[in-house]
Copies of this chain bind each other. A is one copy, B any other.
Amino acid sequence: MDIKNLENIDITLSTASKINEVDFDNLSFGNTFTDHMLVCDFENGVWKKPSIEPYAPFMIDPSAKVFHYGQAIFEGMKAYKDNQDDVWLFRPEQNFERFNKSASRMAMPEVPEDVFMGGLKRLLEIEKNWVKKGDGNSLYIRPFMIATGKGVVAAPAVFYRFMIILSPAKSYYSGEVKVLIAEHFSRAANGGIGAAKAAGNYSAQFYPTKLANEQGFQQIIWTDDATHTKLEEAGTMNVFFRINDTLHTAPTSERILDGITRKSIIDLAKRENINVDIRPVLVEELVEAAKNGSLKEIFGAGTAAVINPIVGFSYKEEYFELPKNEDSFAIDLKKKLTDIQYKNAEDTFGWTVKI
């Protein structure tokens, strides 16, 4: 099946576009969707012919396993438009691979490359007007798969649906981000599903994050659940710590998502001759470094925000404010990375893929 050919994908175009109703200058993240979506069903061991159809609600049985047992995974990626009006993806093969790793961990079928990548490309061709030029603008891409199979017995489903929906996004500005270091709650278990982009990992964080919000913190930096001594990652971001001029980040593990922004930043930093130290970072090291002034920066890294600088953290009721740096690694690396994504700088890594 080569669904880059029109014949292998059913296309039904919407009669009228919603694009003129959208205020692209005032988008809130993830709430506006484009005119079309990709749908592909898996039935009795076989992926059916995918279709592109008008974005719309769909019918599902109340006993669908996604509702009862959370068999659901997703990816998050972005399309960017350059000054020549070409549309680009950033390392999409990484999302595709990670999607299928998540699928395996959740006992779901792997999605074929021509459905995921071929389908995405066809969909983006149709929706290219929704990708806006200009700093920080992008089209957020949400591929996901849910268990549509019926029945309330706790076992993997036989029917699944893979979908891609698209949401135009402005640059993600979340204000000043203060973080709380987790002392009690956790997001992932050893031998659990933390390394998968499984739906259940995210709702598990909502309640602790709400408590943190009430105390004035926007995010939590999760620690290992066994000892709460190792710094792991934030809600939807990996985390970097700059101590003096070395950038530290935790190694990925079965508790930590293997972020594509994270690995790109590591490569970029190395190219800039920044020393990158990949090893478990202890909470006590961080506190010590904050106290003796060697802690210069903390930032999160993920597709939505790209790089999100953190202004301070709290641990055991003590708040540590980070210094303001002239030469911020976060700002420098974010510029270098987005310049590649928007084709304003040469892509020496071969990360960008044209639609």
- A interface residues (Cβ-Cβ under 8 A, vs B): 28-31, 33, 37, 55, 57-63, 65-72, 74, 76, 104-107, 140, 142, 144, 146-147, 150-156, 163, 165, 167, 182, 184-193, 198-208, 210, 225-228, 235-236
Is the CB–CB distance between B74 and A163 below 8 Å? no
- A67 CB contacts on chain B under 8 angstroms: 66, 72, 74, 144, 146, 199
- A146 CB contacts on chain B under 8 angstroms: 67
Is the CB–CB distance between A206 and B107 below 8 Å? yes
Is the CB–CB distance between A182 and B186 below 8 Å? no
Q: How far is the CA of A28 from the CA of B150 in the complex (A)?
A: 13
CB distance from A255 to the nearest CB of B (A): 8
Considering the complex, give the chain B residue whose CB is closest to the CB of A183. Answer: B191
- A76 CB contacts on chain B under 8 angstroms: 152
Is the CB–CB distance between B62 and A225 below 8 Å? no
The oligomer's copy count stands at 2
Q: How far is the CA of A71 from the CA of B185 in the complex (A)?
A: 17
Is the CB–CB distance between B204 and A198 below 8 Å? yes
Q: How far is the CA of A185 from the CA of B255 in the complex (A)?
A: 12
When the two chains form the complex, which single residue of B31, B104, B105 contacts A150, counting CB atoms closer than 8 Å? B31
When the two chains form the complex, which single residue of B69, B150, B190, B204 contacts A203, counting CB atoms closer than 8 Å? B69
When the two chains form the complex, which single residue of B30, B107, B150, B153 contacts A153, counting CB atoms closer than 8 Å? B30
Interface of A is mostly: loop
CB distance from A142 to the nearest CB of B (A): 5
- A163 CB contacts on chain B under 8 angstroms: 62
Q: How far is the CA of A184 from the CA of B31 in the complex (A)?
A: 39
Is the CB–CB distance between B106 and A189 below 8 Å? no
- A140 CB contacts on chain B under 8 angstroms: 152
What are 19 A-B contacts defined by CB distance under 8 Å?
A28-B153, A31-B150, A57-B60, A57-B61, A60-B60, A67-B144, A68-B142, A142-B152, A154-B205, A154-B235, A155-B206, A156-B206, A185-B192, A186-B192, A192-B204, A193-B204, A198-B200, A200-B204, A225-B226
When the two chains form the complex, which single residue of B33, B156, B192 contacts A210, counting CB atoms closer than 8 Å? B156
Q: How far is the CA of A244 from the CA of B126 in the complex (A)?
A: 70
- A63 CB contacts on chain B under 8 angstroms: 30, 33, 142, 165, 167
CB distance from A164 to the nearest CB of B (A): 9
Q: How far is the CA of A208 from the CA of B203 in the complex (A)?
A: 22
CB distance from A97 to the nearest CB of B (A): 17
